[in-house]
Amino acid sequence: MLLSLMIFVPLLGMIVVLLLPRESEELIKRATLAFTLVPLVLAVVLFVSYDRSSAGTQYFVNVPWIDAFNINYHIGIDGLSVTLLLLTALLGPICVLASWRNIEKGLKAYMALFLLLETGMLGFFAALDLFLFFVFFELTLLPMYFLIGVWGGPRREYAAIKFFLYTLFGSVLMLVAMIAVYLNSNVINGVAEGVRTFDIPTLITLAGTTGHALADSTFQMWVFLGFFIGFAVKVPIFPFHTWLPDAHVEAPTAISVILAGVLLKMGTYGIVRINMAMFPEGLAIFTNGVGFWGNSLALLGFINIVYGSFCALAQTDFKKLVAYSSIGHMGFVILGLAAGNSAGINGAILQMFNHGVISAMLFLLVGVLYDRAHHREINGFGGIATKMPVYTGITTLAFMASLGLPGLSGFVGEALSLLGAFQEFELITILSTIGIVVGAAYFLWTLQRVFLGQLNPKYEDLPEINKREILTLVPLGILTIVLGIWPNFALDMFSESVTNLVNVLDAI
Amino acid sequence: MEPLKNIESLAYFSPEILLVVFAAAVIIADLLIKNRESELVAYISLVGLGCSLVAILITNSLINSNEPIPLFFGMIRLDGFAVFFKILLLLATAATILFSLRSEELDARLKGEYYALLLAVTFGMFLMASSTNLLMIFISLETVSLTSYILAGFLTHSPRSSEAAFKYITYGAVASGTMLFGLSMIFGMAGTGDLSQISSQIASVLASGGVSTLSVLIAITFILAGIGYKIASVPFHMWSPDVYEGAPIPITAFLSVASKAAGFALFLRFFHVGFGKPEILQSIDWGFILAIVSALTMTVGNLAALPQRNVKRLLAYSSIAHGGYLLMGAVLLTPEGLGAIFFYLIVYLFMNLGAFYVVVLIANEAGTEMIDGYRGLATRAPLVAGAMAIFLFSLTGIPPLAGFFGKWVLFYAVIGEGLYWLAFIGLLNSVVSLYYYARIVKAMYFETSEDTNGLSFSTGTFALLSVFAIPTIFIGLLNIFYTFSDKITLQ
């Protein structure tokens, strides 16, 4: 009940916001903020009250929805999903605050779409029915398309449709795989009996039953691929990544934050929840099978890390730099997941959360600068540390966290991922560390070019970061420090679930 | 059940009779009314449709336990299948009349004829949905075609409209001629026109070597030409973009929904009842041929829609593509496929008619059918733009809109039969279609027009718009729409 409330409060908020008069902008903003604070409070309640010692799903609701296909409204949380729900719910009000002053037209529609987006994201992380999961996954597409396309930068139309087409292409493959899973869900030893099901926990059990059609390794390989490509577009994994820099550069600040903070995690969350848990045999073919394909998942992670980092190094647009650095950092998640052992998966999930927090900070910071200077050209600044000392301090914190300075959160996740990966793929892991070096290079170089050196005379009157903007950054900054020192705060949440998953993977 | 005799059948035929009565009433009323501005004839037509709907529901209650009632010595049949299509067609006609009331294209002097013809074409479509005899099939098809030709050319001052009617006649004449030839071949081989006996008759003459399989193949291919023309499937689709573009917008909407639905009704009954038993034509893989036609239809429709700048023409190509999606459900003649077609037709009725209604509104207010005319609509008419976005994304198949669930049941039926390749082509087509539907959304939401004056619409307009938009949002989310089709079977 608590969980359903959390998912649908933003949807209710959307209806309320739509009914408010267009002119009362303050009211609309306050209402939206209130409707995003409710899920945050509920997420904190769930996070605290979640029984950490048990790996099972909690707070589940399971009621029939479409009988003809045995589709149920089945939601629930485990350690992994509650962590990501907290991240999503936290970024909700932050994004509303970040949109407080810089949405110049159609504020009402913007806020309504944002609330719809939040319902889609929260529902996705809570869904335990494959069909429901897919519907929530797709529900994020429409609001995102409009949010980028209407309120974005100069090439917004191109970026919006590119995002939409890429993601839809991925979902199409997922849909075929999903139908295939459903059709085979009642076939045991070649005989179909009983009802078919979309229930994720049930499907996971069936996929581990000897003789069941879902347990067949060739079948698992194909459906694994279908789902994987769907999620890979979202992560994004090379070569499906080209929509991301465009979308990020054109999207308004708050939407970039959501995109990097939550939407990319939907891809990796899907890989853990569906690909790894449901199709371990398929996973095995791409992680520790024989031959070239055996390392393909780790290789993709490696390519993401190195390619993303080098691309980031070459950027002169601040936002594009952060976007490419996102691609690089998501590579660590893929690498950790490919390892398939406890350290790797724990590290990957922690990295998902940390990257959500850090990249959100980075995009917020870029937004702060852009609102003042109206450009993002790295070489066009210089020496602004003298004018904006507080801003410079927070940016340095975010940069350090992102480049993996020990003591800050970015380090723990990446280190654990690499630790796990090293046990499985030594060479690839060693080569992947190039990404860390390059990461340090581009962040420090950016720091130097933007903040240090001679003050660019154009920016004599640059105003300091204001209280509202600081308010959006402080919770995230605290999280990076806390999780850097005390990672168990988050790790405890999902380590039990991960142990279960590793046991399943080891049994293959 | 024994076929009913003519007089006994009349009671069961009351929906059709009522349509004819009201068509006559419209003509008479038109003679008596002097005021050319009067909309009375349209309202008479609507009342006629309402009476017919009541009659349909009453006759439906007479069908007990799925036992179809053969009427007029077995020429037509009253069953759940026919009732479903009659209701669907009736709703489409009612919507068309409401569109026509608001359309400014139509010639006020010809109102009487216009509405009378609309009722007549609906009558023909009712027959298409219930014919069980080869002769009746042809007559009903011709009734619909002849009236449609006139309706397509109804804009007497517009050369485009006349061209549309002329093309429609030319293609139609060839197609129905070909079909008639095919029907006569089948009649010659089977010695009967009764669909339910054809399969066994042909099976026995094939077994005795009286005719070759090739001649059956040729006959059915010829018949498919006629049906394919009606549902605008490749390669018999050529007429439809020109006709849809030239015809008055309400008629385009009508042709793209009602005419297609009636075509599918005929197609499904012909194949399910006439050739439902696979042993008749073992040597020919009909499923495969239909799958190819389906794949080609949706691909050609979608690819041709991509470069269009005229919204009406774009929707014409899109409706060809949707015909292709619908054909997926017909490929293997399974109950799941049949149910999927029913479900998709309901969804398609609302989303496609809704989209065409917006085209009517914009043609009236902004005076254009081009995509450029939709620029900045989000600020000029936010509700209309919002509704259009819902219709277009539903046509694409984006959840949680009904179009997604419609496609879901179709793809499910196809994959259930192992035709992964066809589902895959269908899904890729959905991705392609997003591009052109989104072009209209882009114009409405992402672009601005020089003319920023708000467009004002009446309350009735918004009410009608929500009649289409609300089901487009909710049909897929509700359980009941998935189960009703279990009760409809074809025997």
Predicted pLDDT of residue A154: 84
CA distances, A82 to each of A258, A433, A486, A496 (Å): 17, 30, 18, 13
pLDDT in tens, B132-175: 999 999 999 999 999 999 888 888 888 888 888 888 899 999 99
| Ramachandran angles phi, psi of A93, nearest 5° | -60, -35
Structure tokens at B269: 């009954």
Considering only CA atoms, which of A328, A330, A272, A227 is closest in space to residue A502?
Answer: A272
CB-CB contact of A300 with A237 (8 Å): yes
B180, B138 in Cβ contact below 8 A? Answer: yes
Question: In this structure, what are the phi and psi dihedrals at residue B65, rounded to the nearest 5 degrees?
Answer: 45, 50
Instruction: Give the orientation angle of helix A389-403 with respect to helix A342-373, to 10 degrees.
Output: 150
Least confident of B63-67, B104-108, B276-280: B276-280
pLDDT score of B265:
92
Instruction: Give pLDDT, residue B281.
Output: 60
Of the CA atoms within 13 Å of residue A341, those in its CB half-sphere come to: 14
Dihedral of CA A26/A32/A36/A41: which sign?
positive
Closest CA to B438 of B393, B372, B391: B393
- Beta-bridged to residue A64, according to DSSP, are A72
CA A207 to centroid of chain Cα atoms: 27
Task: Show Cβ contacts of residue A135 under 8 Å, excluding neighbours closer than 6 positions.
Answer: B399, B400, B404
- Torsions phi, psi for B306 (to 5 deg): -50, -50
**Residue-wise burial string across B228-256, b where 16 or more C-beta atoms lie within 10 A, e elsewhere:** bbbbbbbebbebbbbbbbbbbbbbbbbbb
Residues B104, B37: Cα–Cα separation, whole Å? 12
Rounded to an integer, the average pLDDT of B195-214 is 81
Q: Dig out the tokens for B415 from the structure.
A: 């994959």
Residue of A147, A168, A181 to mutate, interface with B, max B Cβ within 10 Å: A168
* For chain B, percent of residues with pLDDT exceeding 90: 36
Low-confidence residues of chain A: pLDDT under 70: 55, 289-292, 508
Cα four-point dihedral sign A397, A400, A405, A408 = positive
Measured between CA atoms, how close is B381 to chain A, in angstroms? 13
Higher pLDDT, B448 or A348: A348
In chain A, residues with a C-beta closer than 8 Å to the C-beta of B446 are: 149-150, 156-157, 160
Three-state DSSP class for residue B457: coil
B148 and B168 Cβ atoms separated by less than 8 Å: yes
Residues paired with A66 in a beta bridge: A71
In this prediction, residue B322 carries a pLDDT of: 93
Rg over CA atoms, chain B: 22
Please give the single-letter amino acid code of residue A354: N
Q: How far is CA A392 from CA A124, A318, A451, in A?
A: 36, 14, 7
**B420/A66 Cβ within 8 A:** no
Nearest chain B CA: its distance from A68 CA (Å): 6
SS3 A58: strand
Touching B: A residues 46-105, CB under 8 Å: 64-69
Question: Which pLDDT score is estimated for A377?
Answer: 86
User: Min CA distance, B66 vs chain A (Å)?
Assistant: 20
The per-residue pLDDT for range B267-310, each reduced to its tens digit, is 988 888 877 655 556 566 777 888 899 999 999 999 999 998 99
Residues whose CB is less than 8 angstroms from the CB of residue A147 and which lie 6 or more positions away in sequence, other chains included: A110, A113, A114, A117, A251, A252, A255
* Residue of B398, B446, B483 lying closest to A138 (CB–CB): B398
Stretch B250-276: mean pLDDT? 88
B479 inside 8 A of chain A by CB: yes
Of A64, A67, A172, the CB nearest to B427: A172
- Which residues on B lie below 8 Å from A230 (Cβ)? none
Question: What whole-number distance in Å separates Cα of residue B123 and Cα of residue B145?
Answer: 12
Is the confidence at residue B210, as pLDDT, over 90?
A: no
Closest CA to B9 of B79, B76, B84: B76
CB-count burial class (<10 Å; 0-12, 13-18, 19+) for A191: exposed
At which residue do the structure tokens 């003459």 appear?
B205
pLDDT > 70: percent of chain B: 97
| Tokens representing residue A139 in the block | 């529900």
Phi, psi of A194 (to 5 degrees): 80, -175
Q: Please give the structure tokens belonging to residue B18.
A: 């009522």
pLDDT at B326: 92
CB B19 within 8 A of CB B97: no
The pLDDT, as a whole number, for residue B276 is 64
- Per-residue pLDDT, A371: 85
pLDDT digits (tens, 9 = 90+) for B13-49: 999 999 999 999 999 998 888 777 778 888 999 999 9
Q: Are the beta carbons of A199 and A65 closer than 8 angstroms?
A: no
Tokens encoding B322: 């949707």
Q: Residue for token digits 């350290």?
A: A343
A399, A451 in Cβ contact below 8 A? no
Could you check whether the bond before residue B15 is cis, i.e. omega within 30 degrees of 0? no
Instruction: Name the residue among B117, B148, B146 with its Cα closest to residue B45.
Output: B117
Contacts of residue A149 in chain B, CB cutoff 8 Å? 442, 445-446
Q: How far apart are CA A403 and CA A392, in angstroms?
A: 16
Give contacts of A 382-411 with B, CB under 8 A. none
* Interface contact B434-A142, CB threshold 8 A: no
Provide the pLDDT confidence category of residue B468 given band limits of 50, 70 and 90.
very high
pTM of the model: 0.92
Contacts of B379 in chain A (CB under 8 A): 106
Q: How far is B483 from chain A (nearest CA, A)?
A: 6
Q: Min CA distance, A252 vs chain B (Å)?
A: 14
Q: How many CB pairs under 8 A join A and B?
A: 79
Gap from B378 CA to chain A (nearest CA, Å): 10
Residue A67 to residue B431, Cβ atoms within 8 A: no
**Per-domain boundaries in chain B:** 287-491
Residues 150-179 of A with CB under 8 A from B: 150, 156-157, 160-161, 164-165, 168-169, 172-173, 175-176, 179
Q: What is the mean pLDDT of residues B77-104?
A: 90
Closest Cα to residue B339, out of B270, B285, B416? B416
**Tokens for A393?**
């301090």
Answer yes or no: do A165 and B400 touch at CB < 8 A. no
Query: Does the beta-carbon distance from B479 to A66 stay under 8 Å?
Result: yes
Q: Give residues with Cβ within 8 angstroms of A330, minimum separation 6.
A: A235, A236, A237, A264, A268, A304, A308, A355
Spatial neighbors of B264 by CB under 8 A, at least 6 apart, are: B231, B326, B330, B341, B345
Burial class (CB in 10 A: 0-12, 13-18, 19+), B414: buried
Of A176, A180, A183, the CB nearest to B427: A176
Listed by number, the residues of chain B in 391-450 with a beta carbon closer than 8 Å to a beta carbon of chain A are 393, 398-400, 404, 408, 411-412, 415-416, 420, 423-424, 427-428, 430-431, 434-435, 438, 442, 445-447
Tokens of A118: 């939040």
Residue A445: which H helix or E strand, with range? helix A426-451
**Distance from the B296 Cα atom to the nearest Cα atom in chain A, whole angstroms:** 19
Substitution target from A135, A174, A187 for chain B, most B beta carbons within 10 A: A135
Q: Cβ–Cβ contacts within 10 Å for residue A257, how many? A: 27
Give contacts of A108 with chain B, Cβ < 8 Å: none
Q: A65 and B427 in contact by Cβ < 8 A?
A: no
Nearest CA in chain A to B483: A68
Residue of A8, A65, A66 for testing the chain B interface, max B β-carbons within 10 Å: A66
Rounded Cα distance between A323 and A327, Å, is 7
List of residues 6+ apart from B80 with CB closer than 8 A: B60, B63, B66, B487, B488, B489
From the list A106, A134, A179, the residue facing B415 with the nearest CB is A179
Cα separation, B211 vs B187, in Å, equals: 12
